[in-house]
Amino acid sequence: MPVVVVESPAKAKTIEKYLGGDYRVLASFGHVRDLPPKDGSVDPDHDFDMKWEVAADSKKHLKAIKDALKDDPNLILATDPDREGEAISWHLLEALQTSLKKTSEVSRVTFNAITKSAVTEAMAKPRQIDQPLVDAYLARRALDYLVGFKLSPVLWRKLPGAKSAGRVQSVCLRLIVDREMEIEAFKAREYWSVHARLATPGGDEYDATLTTLAGSKLDRFDLATAEQAAMAVSAVTSRDLRVTGVTAKPASRNPWPPFMTSTLQQEASRKMGMGAKACMSAAQRLYEAGLITYMRTDGIDMAPEAVMAARDAIKAKFGEKYLPKSPRMYKNKAKNAQEAHECIRPTDMMMSPDKLKLSADDQRKLYDLIWKRTIASQMEAARMERTTVEIASPDDQVGLRATGQVMLFDGFLRVYDQGRDDDEGEDSARLPAITEGEAATLVASGFDAEFAKASDKTDPLPDAPKGQRAAPGLLVNDAASTAARQHFTQPPPRFTEATLVKRMEELGIGRPSTYASIVTTIQHRDYVRKDKNRLIPEDKGRLVTTFLIKYFPRYVSHDFTANLENELDEISAGDRLWREVLGRFWKDFSKALEGTSELRITEVLDAIDEALAPHLYPPRADGGDPRVCPLCNAGRLNLKTARSGGAFIGCTNYPECRYTRPLSAPDGEEPVGDRVLGEDAGDQISLKTGRFGPYVQRGEATEEVPKPPRTSIPKGWDAAKLDLDQAVQLLSLPRPVGPHPEDGVLIEAGIGRFGPYVKHGSKYANIQDVDEVFTIGMNRAVEVLVAKQTRGRGAAAAPLKELGDHPDGGAIQVMSGRYGPYVKWEKINATLPRDVEPADLTVEQALELIAAKAAKSPKKAAKKPAAKKPAAKKPAAKKTTAAKKPAAKKPAAKKTTAKPDDAPTGE
């Protein structure tokens, strides 16, 4: 039987079912080889020679493939149909060379969907490995390695606390940091708009907006103050109004094209709040189950047979009127046809989401999204009528406009409407029947409800002239028929994962297979945090970006990165040689690295301090110098580094003045510095800020007491609002609750490294609420301790979900653990991915997680027999001692492996 190799066991299982007993299908479990994570794996001095090694986890998978080739030497490589899939096939072939005979036939097959017809057709059309595509992979991998392993050490040496840099990740981080700088530099500008509630002669009401005042067209900022807005309200209410024109124009909206990788990630984020990584994980499982086509693609074209299938589904489900006369064709935007694939679509158009039985909620929702987008892309356009009504006073001094939209035929909108980023909406209000020449009567009390709602706010009130009323941000006339609304221009919005991917695509940086890993990596490195789905740069990310812009500006330029991406595309098309591209890159990059060799840390910090000054030292409310130390009023504030890494703002008068604060505070709040809260029992109680955040301290450090009592401010407490009583309470912890009723041992309540707790002897039990530490009584404390004991060595914790028996025997359960839910089978515990809910986990997913976990821990399994043979203990000990020597000879490799873990992963 020929041996077919794919990436994953789930994919192998599905394909083996389609191919039957004539083939043996095995999984490589992803890449089998990679560059060792140490310096020297790519050698620029020897034509970029690359040293590959087989991963420890991959050795057993390779052995299984080699064993299978003993029975049938014919090898079919069926990995994914993109550059990465081609690279996996190439690595497999290289690693299996010694197991292949001269007569062995090696072929490469690709299919865009895991369906029986697609797999069967692919097997009938084998080809050889696409070397230009492999060359593009080699160039990309070498570039990412060189940037990661050459630039990251510069960061570590020159910028304490920095983790690493990446060829595309650093450019992506710069986009987020630059956007934050724009937001901070933004100055809001006030403007007002005026609106009237009008009625037709028949009594139907509608709203209109003031567009003309004093006979001139109003621009956005013409009404810049409340006084000007009040005058405009008076001008409207003091005149009779009449409809001077009604224009109705037909309009249509065409559907969006089917999904490609970037648009799928954007829409999954908008509609489901799903991150890029979670989206691709769910899509991968749908693809391996044969439900959708390949999900890493920059193509939007659809196979002709799929187009006809979609049209058949539309006709059957929605009727002829929703089917356009001819199929819709979408032009592929991919720059490189060799890496472009068909769009992301269902493999069976008749398989609507309601027919599909998927237990995983994320997969079910994502399939629903893909099916609707695909079907909608082949449906009839939506038709509507857009109406514009012009209203004016007889003297033409005042003009208003009302706009509305009436849907005549919903077309594709019956199935799907794309989500929007931020404010991209249209005016879709319905208008009543309005006739040119009729009177437009002001409606009393039209804005009463809005005025009542605005009156609940505590913001400052605008000045209201006689005959008008004021609420925060709103002016209305006494009759409430006309209103002026206050507006402020808004800064550019922070990126979401969806809008960041969109921007990367627009700039041409990154590719479909890398978007998710790039966005995820900068968050894992703590350069960026996600808050309410928005990406906010951390101080660490700002420092790294500022350093790179200062000393490596070319390599964080999106133009340079995009041009390099184009060159990589040209390599995959066979138009460039990969070593030549690397040679040109390395020539300039190595010079830039040499230019930083003499830099001192203080020089770097001074340069960053100057570049970030507007962010680090915002203007003070009193107009004073923002760099003057607020504690001693003599020293100057500047950027400093901590021993443990990271940075903070400190006073130049140190150690006489110990004022410190973080680089920034969340949401633009004024960072909290040192201040005295008061005295207690003769001691001065102070609030201070260290490198781990704000804390309270009793007294000051002296020779007799070098480390006075201190404690950190708990999470959730506002350090800026902390008072003396709260500080004394914190410093009094741990708090005695009382002797335990059974053994008399003291029970205490306190706040530790893992949060609030109660303690009985050496036993700890966490409590949820920080404030409960100061109020918890004996009954509650005993209850918490008993609950912890029950969960621990007492009765076994109940599983969250029973999944049935493993094929090899033994129950599979979903359990709740200290670090989150996990799958348990015998002695294997596999943590659930963050994007998977325990209730949605299927048996198939659990088996994959168990298999992956088992593959990563072969040593643990190997220890069992050794423990059962006491007679063999002496020889085993000798072997272990002997085995330890070579391991001890490689401490440098171990250290290097640990450091670059942050560096050259992906791009």
**Are the beta carbons of 751 and 708 closer than 8 angstroms?**
no
> Which residue is catalytic, options 23, 145, 294, 527?
294
User: What is the sign, positive or negative, of the torsion defined by CA atoms of 269, 274, 277, 281?
Assistant: negative
Please, are residues 88 and 513 in contact by the beta-carbon 8 Å criterion?
A: no
What the block records as the tokens of 318 is: 């929605």
Q: Report the greatest alpha carbon distance in the chain.
A: 111
Task: Please tell me what DSSP assigns to residue 841.
Answer: -
Residue for token digits 């509608």? 206
> Residue type at 722?
L
Tokens of 801: 């979900």
Q: What are phi and psi of 381, to 5 degrees?
A: -65, 155
Query: What is the SS3 string spanning 62-110?
Result: HHHHHHHHHHCCCEEECCCCCHHHHHHHHHHHHHCHHHCCCCCCEEECC
Report the distance separating Cα 854 and Cα 618, nearest Å.
53
User: Residue type for 603, please?
Assistant: E
DSSP assigned state of 161: T
What type of residue is 628? V
- Positions of E strands within 168-204: 190-199
Which of 594, 608, 582 is closest to 167 using CA atoms?
Answer: 582
- Distance (Å) of CA 90 to CA 338, 339, 565, 731, 904: 17, 16, 22, 63, 21
Contacts for 902 with CB less than 8 Å, ≥ 6 apart: 152, 163, 164, 525
Question: Has 294 been annotated as catalytic?
Answer: yes
Cα distances (Å, whole numbers) of residue 803 to 222, 575, 823, 854:
66, 53, 9, 18
Cα(first)–Cα(last) distance of the chain, in Å? 39
User: Strands 660-661, 647-651: parallel, antiparallel or unpaired by DSSP?
Assistant: antiparallel
SS3 817: strand
Neighbours of 707 (CB within 10 A): 7
Backbone angles phi, psi at 475, to 5 degrees: -125, 135
Q: What angle do CA 420, 424, 427 make, to 5 degrees?
A: 120
Residue listed under structure tokens 């690693």: 95
Return the SS3 of 509.
Answer: coil
Residue 669: both structure tokens together: 């709040």
Cα(137)–Cα(33) distance, rounded to whole angstroms?
Answer: 13
Residue type, 822: Y
Under a CB-based contact definition with an 8 Å cutoff, are residues 664 and 539 in contact?
yes
Q: Are the CB atoms for 131 and 338 separated by under 8 Å?
A: no
Is residue 802 classed as helix, strand or coil in its secondary structure?
strand
Angle formed by the axes of helices 558-572 and 578-594, to 10°? 150
Which residues, in sequence order, are bridge partners of residue 205?
Answer: 199
Residue 828 and residue 99: Cα distance in Å, rounded?
32
Count CB-CB contacts under 10 A for residue 639: 21
Tell me how many helices (H) and strands (E) the chain has.
26, 35
Contact (Cβ atoms closer than 8 angstroms) between residue 814 and residue 803: yes
Residues 539 and 533: their CA atoms lie apart, in Å, by 19
Q: What are the φ/ψ torsions at residue 748 (nearest 5 degrees)?
A: -125, 155
Residues designated catalytic: 294
